[in-house]
Structure 1
């Protein structure tokens, strides 16, 4: 699936000998990731083609005449699309040529050389694991070391991830973004210091039933348990009074380090509303009418919202992911000032939804739009994996006469997840304004 690479900002700079060049600010998940020149990307594309051949997407062509403003804008859009398309192939994103290129760019952009350093990774209960790392270590490597220190087997790494988190003075916890596997956590953390971010470890799956895959590992059970306690404390989940009493009793027993009560606690908490969901900060939305605000929980194949209407009435709404046809993230503003780059941007996520047998666009105005988009992708990928597994199991038991019928049913279900063709909408503001652009997701 494509990564959330965007290029909302570019700068025209002058070299030592007077010639000009364009420096593109490459954003990942809505935050400044690195800065790069066209020539660097061109050389990197040549390297990719030597390794992966024609599977690499076409690279934007060179201009042999002086670029006009419209040509520069076109190139920026083409480079953005190229970077999104090149990340579709996991064999490319997992390759040394991909990782080493972005490692160097990220370090050069923030002027951080490779050296020994310490990095704090926070657990959900507030404990800190301090790691001795290299500043050039990727998130995948850091996660591997953290889980090893906690006694969690490497085979279960895929169920967890590193995240940038914010603790607010009012006790609210915000998940800012998921750290990409090839990203350098130490470097990214330095670039996001003004936001007061820290790095935490959390489970990374949206289907609560996947907890069962981890029940055989004590370290994994502990991680799930302390995250569940945190989400109850932060009011991310909504236990009834009866559920809360039972959970508190099990928690007292679990605190005696008896793993059987940890498992029982997790089995019970799975029945609680919004368990295993990602909660976003309060945001604005246009459903069912313009001017609404919403608290959004996403997980378990739905977007569950508590919507406050302009009339101050509240409405509980569940948008089923199976009824979402496509979605897009839009930058509403990105600062061109160097001192502002890396700060959170103004974003919106809109999705096309089948509501009462008719299609309509629904918009959430949230700085966590890219995180919400990542959750969408995760839910769909988990559902497709589950569907494929079930399909293989049924192939063994199903008579030949029914297999073609099963295939047709499966295709009609998956069609809901198709993305309509990219149609780029480019706003052209005055020179004093920021650069705006709409980016449509076509990940699956």
Structure 2
């Protein structure tokens, strides 16, 4: 995960007192605004659960009002703290960590828990309507969708729910996969303020051998089929004219398994295709088509009027990072200023020869998350682990959240009923303490560094990196 706190805002609480709120972005998307004291209380709870030695230093308290330079210094220190904490997988995967982020999102968006319906789509446009709580987290929503369409429990987490944007040309592009620390309902509502988005159910694995597990079940096989047909129609999967003719014949016959078996032999099966972007390889400012899948980033670059193709294996990427920049002709805070996102990875070109390669794309964050997901899946397979099942999760956990974020609020209800404590929430003393004046959120571009300066959101070390040996040369 990529955390940043690029800016702050001045707010007033219920008593009229002013305070500074820190805007937190996760994977390039605004997530929440938090006060210093809330982050400090969160730090104290992490110390109790994981020990002080496992945590980085937390910015010290100040007893006098902060000057603007001191606020900026604290913002930078808090950003660094959250980035370091999130790199500890034990902490980042804990109920304490995810519960804090989920509750912070809920309070920032001023979203009270209520029963709502949520539309979740398949890639062919088929709509699944589920009844949820507006504050249900991602895994709760996924499990309810899976239950409604009768996906067997052992296959639920072969799938994920994704935020998809409707483009001007009529196509749909994947924005990101929903994470467990957020409410899909709240996130969708926020995203639709800046365009038309929907939630889509897709398979959530990269190794096509996992298809074999799903082929013998009618429901999961149909989900694979629907996604594959869609990917072929939008040319995410490439096929010759003869192959397309054969696929059309199988489709007419209703031979779904045979259709899938043929599709799995085609180029870019089980890849995500990104929109055209720029890279500095093999030449500066090269136009490139990038696809992620099969443990690689695949490049198609126009060189000397010819389309040349190359691949960068994830096991040869030592590390990667996301950087935000402004073009030289833009100024900070101007109306039309828009930051560029860059994904840079250090690649082992040959033994003792590492090279940094940079991609400039508004989908750089999705590329980075795709790399991380492929690495995590590769490690999972090497360790012989399996996809988790709904029964592996703690149901109705007392989530680790701090005061001001609805202490110990539960986010998952097995029977789908609205709990009595939430129905009476307006009479609850705890609710009256929740801050009602977080203020309007600011866009990430408002206070990022000036032209040609860079805001590095942290270096991701690749745990699947493999050096080149003599047999590889």
Common fold, TM-score beyond 0.5? Answer: yes
Helix, strand or coil: the match of 1:7?
Answer: strand
Say if 1:214 and 1:221, in contact at 8 Å, map to a contact too: yes
Q: How far did 1:73 drift? A: 3.7
The answer to whether the aligner puts 1:346 opposite 2:346 as a matched pair is no
Q: Which residue of 2 aligns with 1:400?
A: none
Q: How far did 1:93 drift? A: 4.4
The answer to whether the aligner puts 1:372 opposite 2:367 as a matched pair is yes
CA distance in 1, matches of 2:91, 2:314: 29
CA distance in 2, matches of 1:198, 1:177: 11
Q: Which residue of 1 aligns with 2:456?
A: 438
- Over 3 Å counting, the alpha-carbon distance change for 1:47 and 1:240 in structure 2 is same
Q: Which residue of 1 aligns with 2:107?
A: 108
The counterpart of 1:329, out of the listed 322, 330, 344, is 322
The counterpart of 1:4, out of the listed 2, 5, 9, is 2
Say if 2:331 and 2:450, in contact at 8 Å, map to a contact too: no
Say if 1:283 and 1:293, in contact at 8 Å, map to a contact too: yes
Q: Which residue of 2 aligns with 1:422?
A: none
- Over 3 Å counting, the alpha-carbon distance change for 1:115 and 1:344 in structure 2 is farther
TM-score, structure 2 normalization: 0.76
Q: How far did 1:70 drift? A: 5.1
Q: How far did 1:431 drift? A: 9.1
Q: Which residue of 2 aligns with 1:265?
A: 259
Q: Which residue of 2 aligns with 1:283?
A: 277
Q: Which residue of 2 aligns with 1:298?
A: 292
Helix, strand or coil: the match of 1:441?
Answer: strand
Taking the TM superposition and a 5 Å limit, the aligned residue runs for 1:41-440 are: 41-54=39-52, 56-64=54-62, 67=66, 71-89=70-88, 92-193=91-192, 194-254=194-254, 261-309=255-303, 312-332=305-325, 346-357=340-351, 358-389=353-384, 436-440=454-458
Moved more, 104-113 or 197-206: 104-113
The counterpart of 2:36, out of the listed 25, 38, 49, is 38
CA distance in 1, matches of 2:150, 2:15: 56
CA distance in 1, matches of 2:448, 2:366: 30
> Which 5+ residue runs of structure 1 have no aligned equivalent?
255-260, 391-428
- Over 3 Å counting, the alpha-carbon distance change for 1:434 and 1:122 in structure 2 is farther
Say if 1:138 and 1:182, in contact at 8 Å, map to a contact too: yes
Give the structure, 1 or 2, with the largest relative contact order (CA under 8 Å, sep 6 or more).
2
- Over 3 Å counting, the alpha-carbon distance change for 1:283 and 1:37 in structure 2 is same
- Over 3 Å counting, the alpha-carbon distance change for 1:81 and 1:220 in structure 2 is farther
Say if 1:9 and 1:336, in contact at 8 Å, map to a contact too: no
> Which 5+ residue runs of structure 2 have no aligned equivalent?
386-446, 464-473
CA distance in 2, matches of 1:205, 1:335: 41
Q: Which residue of 2 aligns with 1:417?
A: none
TM-score, structure 1 normalization: 0.80
Greater percentage in helix: 1
CA distance in 2, matches of 1:359, 1:434: 24
Say if 1:7 and 1:80, in contact at 8 Å, map to a contact too: yes
- Over 3 Å counting, the alpha-carbon distance change for 1:359 and 1:439 in structure 2 is same
Helix, strand or coil: the match of 2:460?
Answer: coil
What's the Cα RMSD here? 3.0
